[in-house]
Chains A and B, each alone.
Chain A
């Protein structure tokens, strides 16, 4: 709408521009009633202009219709006139001057305005002509009409809205007045005419078009809206497009899928539509090449590549160039051992296994096999087949690496020879017995015992044949023979178990045990003097026995264990007498040379117990005998030669007593049971010491002749035990070198640091044993020689040994019935 109006007004201005300039003068001066009609006709359009506020158009309109302003003022005047006519009845006196003045002003202002407009549009010539106009007043005076001050375009307020500037005052306040407010100039704005009563009636009968029932606030007239306006309001309310264009026009299908019968163009398809594009092929090939060369990578691969490239760096950059130190708890896995000749595809022929070995290998558990393969030989490389166990072996290695518990094992890297103790060479420790120099043959059956007389000239042996033979040591000649058991066929159980020379060299007394009896003899080899002294010694005792003074100087020993509670004192002494009985030899025995007989058998009721061991006190008066199955009373007996008295020192024996010996210097008795060795002090009658050899089955003992601080014990369980009494109750050395039961041990009594042990394996071991007075130094034991010569008969070898009293000679009694002298 707006644009429409604009164009209209422009046209109008163009068409009417030229005649304007000429007709101005005329217009201003002319006054015609004609115009009134024109003006009234145009009134509507004028109002329209005003409403729409079209400034340019209005200006041109103004120019084009020079008389318009006049007409305007005319119409105003008319209005005023009409109003005045109406109002004359009410207030006639109301300012006539006002009315009269108004049109003058109006006209003036209009001309002014017009001239202003002219200034802008006119050319220079016309402008000059418009300068001061000199006229004369009617009275003749000169009158200069100065040109109007040219107001600028903006000063034109002709577009001013003809509104009622009523302000806040409600229109009802003017109800009683003919006007409804005042304009800018303070003049009344008259109420619009309401029409005649007939009109009102008509109005009330049928509603006029566009009736709203509202009053225009500014004018006080009823507000009527046109059909168009209402439509506009409706559209605005509904949020519809207020534009007139149709939104829903039917589409025109310019391009359709339907082929027209008559195409727009009938050009045939070009060739390129049917030929593969070279350009495209080129471009594709470029991509393909890039992919092939790896310049373009698909995203999935790219990811992988990136990952790979991420790992391409020097992991050890900046680390030192040496091994790192292992933590103490780190145990590195051992490397696999390198392959050996056996694994070769073409090993030396000797490495191949025989059929037997192969079979053995196949039968073994796989884990026990020394090698996990069979050596094979192929004549050429091409014949070597694949190895079938590779994967398994690698798998087992894996298991070992992560599953096998690791232990640090210190490998003992020593020369086995270094384990052998450093000892002085036997060559430097001479003399010691090395070879058999004399054999003493004559016994029938095994020789159980032997003893060398204190002078060292005579050897006494006793054997299973019931005889005791005396030999000359140097020659091996049998000088005397005692038949102890005369009826050997009847009593096969009776053997000569032990013999021992009296240690006093001037007596020549020999004690022999056989069965449950002890025989004392004086062999007729020493010459009269000595023999007589010996016999007298035996004879002297008979007197004591007869007087019945049984008292001995050896009291009964109270067992150290505190067995004193069973103080069966008197009864004990009563029975003590019966421990052993001394008899004079029967004529038969006397004829055989026996000087005295001591028997331990207690009649028919008590079973006889064999006396196995005999040992003299160093003074030669006492001797002790041991019978292991003698029970409490008779197992250990101490006999006194001078008084012909025997007694059992123990009320109760502890275990089975195997051996007993007097201490070489102290008044001590050393008693060996099967397990223990006990040392009793005879003076105080108490247990002094108990030794624990640690053997199960002790056989015999010997005491070091110097000081008696060392005890050597042998056992049937193959051991020889060296006890140092100063050290502890356990052995200082346990020597296990015999293969069978040890039957005898013996120290050299004549000052040489030697001892020996004899065993059922038929060997005698000779040792060097230095004992130091210094308590700090341990005894030095050096094995010297293994003497072998005795035959093993019925699994019995050497039964007894004895050292020569002075020389480093050794006598041994064998189960083969031969006694030997071993000399250096």
Chain B
């Protein structure tokens, strides 16, 4: 006889451990355990059989996978936590005794832990890390836009904004942005980095409402982990793109307009020297090539002009660009020095147009945008730069004016002016005036849309999500007119009897009209009617037959199958109902619109 297996030695009973047990085993406080779990990415599980996992009790408890906890036992960070505990005891003691000097030295030598090993453990390969970057970016972007409070130190927000800007700088430089969407929650971006689709949300730059009931310690623990993760990811990305990390920051710009322009990306070996030697020298004087420029300068304009003049081939092939660069550089040398800072050429962006996988990355390459100061620059900057466009912002011009620098370069190369105000006072000839949504929609569609719909003051067409509808409804599809008659009638029957009658009359009139027309065409009235009837009957007959057959077959399903089928059918029906509802609403709206037009 086989040995009798003892209860609670295998399976669920062995695999799962409650949180209380885990804390006891690790000998840490709950808060430390929480932090450890966040760092190590350990999460509770739902055992298949709760009763077995919890010694027969069905009380609501949190279970952890016991091997996860086992691994935690040897975690170096755990020791750091313990050290920190003794440290804080010492510190409070010193402070209690009033030994400020001791406290200070203690504070200087406070135990610190590093998360690099943890990150490597959690993400053994780089792609793993990229795959999980969504939450990381969301969190950092949220904090980068948060005011420093008593709970959130300025250092944290500064760090977050630094990292996020570095990320954006990378994304725009590599032009891997694929989709973007302006929602009421903020702006969603999706980038394809090394084949991974990474989506993140950037809140609008308004003061955040900070709810009082939120435990910021948890958020900050996450933030700590995420900022370290993003740091390493960025380091790797920059290294792979042969850029130096961390990028230089142009302090003047950071204080001024801020944002991406302040980040000066610099390739690791000085420059793409072999390709653009002239640029190199120039860049050396300027503090190196930087792709990032919002404030465009004369050189850009010159370049654009030169390109126009050349006209023979507007394709972005390398040679031409190199020539352009040359032109630009010579021009620059002649020009004022002040413009040199701002006039970093976007040359290296264009040097290998084929390397951009996204079709959108060269969408705006021939355009120069002038951005009004009422338009949120940060959004447009990212999109336009990722699509290869150039931009001049009114804000930076203002700044230049403030600093009494000369503004004598001409803005004649500007092709589009982005305006977000009902009326434009003095229009400049040769510029196309558009609302910012044009840029977004073009980018998402991957093609240039008609500008007339997006002129200032126009009612904008709806801004659709590039990720589509939550169900199967397609808002762009035209409304089926046949259904319209039926449903509308029904609907209105219920609502307004009078109108209904009128409409019916209308319908009848229409019918009569049609019949007359048909008769004129030589079809007899009786034939027409018969045909219709036959058709409909046939159709209904076959339909009903099929339905009946299906219904009969359903009788033979087992109970389980039937329930499943019903559930599925429920979902489908709901979806269908939603589609119908939306279509109905749309029809109604269109009708009212038409009426208004009349």
Q: Are A340 and B232 neighbours in the complex by a CB distance under 8 Å?
A: no
Tell whether B46 is near chain A: CB-to-CB under 8 Å: yes
Among the listed B125, B135, B182, B214, which residue makes an inter-chain contact with A392, where contact means beta carbons less than 8 Å apart? B214
Pick from B262-270, B341-349, B495-503, B549-557 the stretch touching chain A: B549-557
Q: Are B462 and A404 in contact (CB under 8 A)?
A: no
Q: Which residues of B contact A765 (CB under 8 A)?
A: 555
Query: What 0/1 pattern do residues 394 to 429 of A give for CB contact below 8 A with B?
Result: 110111011111110000100010011101011000
CA gap between A781 and B218 in the complex, in Å: 61
| Bitwise interface map of B from 210 to 236 toward A, beta carbon under 8 Å scored 1, else 0 | 110011001100100000100110011
Q: Please indicate the chain A residues that have their CB under 8 angstroms from the CB of B45 in the complex.
A: 331, 405-407
Binds B, one of A306-314, A645-653, A706-714: A306-314
Q: Are A783 and B555 in contact (CB under 8 A)?
A: yes
Task: Spot the interface stretch: B276-284, B323-331, B351-359, B581-589.
Answer: B581-589
Interchain CB contact under 8 A, A344 and B236: no
Contacts of B475 in A (CB 8 A): 341, 348, 350-351
Residue B134 interfacial (CB < 8 Å): yes
Decide: B63 and A405 in contact? CB cutoff 8 A. yes
Contacting residue for B183 out of A345, A394, A395, CB 8 A: A345
| Cα distance A349–B590 in the bound complex, in angstroms | 10
A402 in contact with B188 (CB, 8 Å):
no
Q: Does A37 contact B (CB under 8 A)?
A: no
Given contacts A321-B125, A421-B553, contact A300 B108 (CB under 8 A): yes
Taking CB atoms, residues of chain A closer than 8 Å to B218 are 395, 398-399, 402
In the assembled complex, the Cα of A416 lies from the Cα of B568 at a distance in Å of: 6
Enumerate chain B residues within 8 angstroms of A169, measured Cβ to Cβ.
none
Contact with B along A460-498 (1 / 0, CB 8 A): 000000000000000000000000000000000000000
The reply on A391 being an interface residue by CB < 8 A is: yes
B124 lies within 8 A of chain A by Cβ? yes
Report B-chain residues with C-beta under 8 Å of the C-beta of A311: 114, 116, 228, 231-232
Please report the C-alpha to C-alpha distance between residue A584 and residue B553 in the assembled complex, in whole angstroms.
Answer: 53
A600 to B68, CA, bound (A): 79
Contact B188 A339 (CB under 8 A): yes
Closest to A396 in B: B214
Q: Which of B291-299, B393-401, B406-414, B464-472 contacts A (4 or more CB under 8 A)?
A: B464-472
**B65–A341 touching, CB < 8 Å:** no
Contact between B586 and A401, CB atoms less than 8 A apart: no
For A373, list chain B residues within 8 Å (CB). 184-185
Does A737 lie at the interface of the complex (its beta carbon under 8 Å from any beta carbon of B)? yes
Q: What B residues does A786 contact at CB under 8 A? A: 548, 551-552
Taking CB atoms, residues of chain A closer than 8 Å to B134 are: 335-336
Q: B residues within 8 A CB of A781?
A: 556
Report the Cα distance A783→B127, complex, angstroms: 55
Are B127 and A322 in contact, CB atoms less than 8 angstroms apart?
A: yes
Chain A residue with the shortest CB-CB distance to B468: A340
Is the pair A312, B46 in contact by a Cβ cutoff of 8 Å?
no
- B384 to nearest A CB, angstroms? 15
Chain A residues lying within 8 Å of B208, measured Cβ to Cβ, are: 386, 390-391
Tell me whether B185 and A416 are in contact (CB under 8 A): no
Is B62 at the interface (CB under 8 A from chain A)?
A: yes
* Chain A neighbourhood of B245, CB < 8 A: 312
User: How far is it, in angstroms, between the C-alpha of A344 and the C-alpha of B552 when the chains are bound?
Assistant: 45
Bitwise, B36-64 to A at CB < 8 A (1) or not (0) is: 01100011111000000000000000110
Q: Closest Cβ of chain B: how far from A748's Cβ, in Å?
A: 18
A320 to B246 alpha-carbon distance, docked (Å)? 24
Given A319-B126, A344-B182, A385-B206: A380 touches B435 (CB 8 Å cut-off): yes
B464 in contact with A344 (CB, 8 Å): yes
Q: Given the known inter-chain contacts A381-B436, A391-B214, please indicate yes or no for A402 contacting B228, CB distance below 8 A.
A: no
Taking CB atoms and an 8 Å cut-off, the chain A residues in 46-98 that contact chain B are none
- Asked whether A419 lies within 8 Å of B465 as measured between CB atoms, the reply is no
A390 CB contacts on chain B under 8 angstroms: 142, 185-186, 203, 208-209
CB <8 Å contact, A342 and B557:
no
With a cutoff of 8 Å between Cβ atoms, the chain B residues found around residue A398 in the complex are 139, 218-219, 222
CA distance A412 to B564 in the complex (A): 10
> What A residues does B583 contact at CB under 8 A?
350
B464 to chain A, nearest CB (A): 5
Residues of A within 8 A of B125 (CB): 316, 319-324
Shortest C-beta distance, B163 to chain A (Å), equals: 12
Q: Which residue of A lies closest to B129 (CB)?
A: A316
A329 at the A/B interface (Cβ < 8 Å)? yes
Q: Tell me, rounded to whole Å, the shortest Cβ–Cβ distance linking A787 to chain B.
A: 12
Of all A-B residue pairs in the complex, the 3 with the closest CB atoms, nearest first, are: A386-B206, A338-B467, A783-B552
Other A-B pairs beyond A315-B116, A339-B185, A420-B553, 17, CB < 8 Å = A312-B246, A316-B125, A335-B134, A341-B462, A344-B181, A349-B589, A350-B589, A380-B420, A380-B460, A384-B182, A389-B185, A391-B142, A394-B142, A398-B218, A406-B45, A423-B556, A785-B552
Q: 9 A-B contacts, Cβ less than 8 Å apart?
A: A315-B119, A323-B131, A336-B199, A338-B465, A339-B181, A349-B585, A379-B460, A405-B62, A782-B556
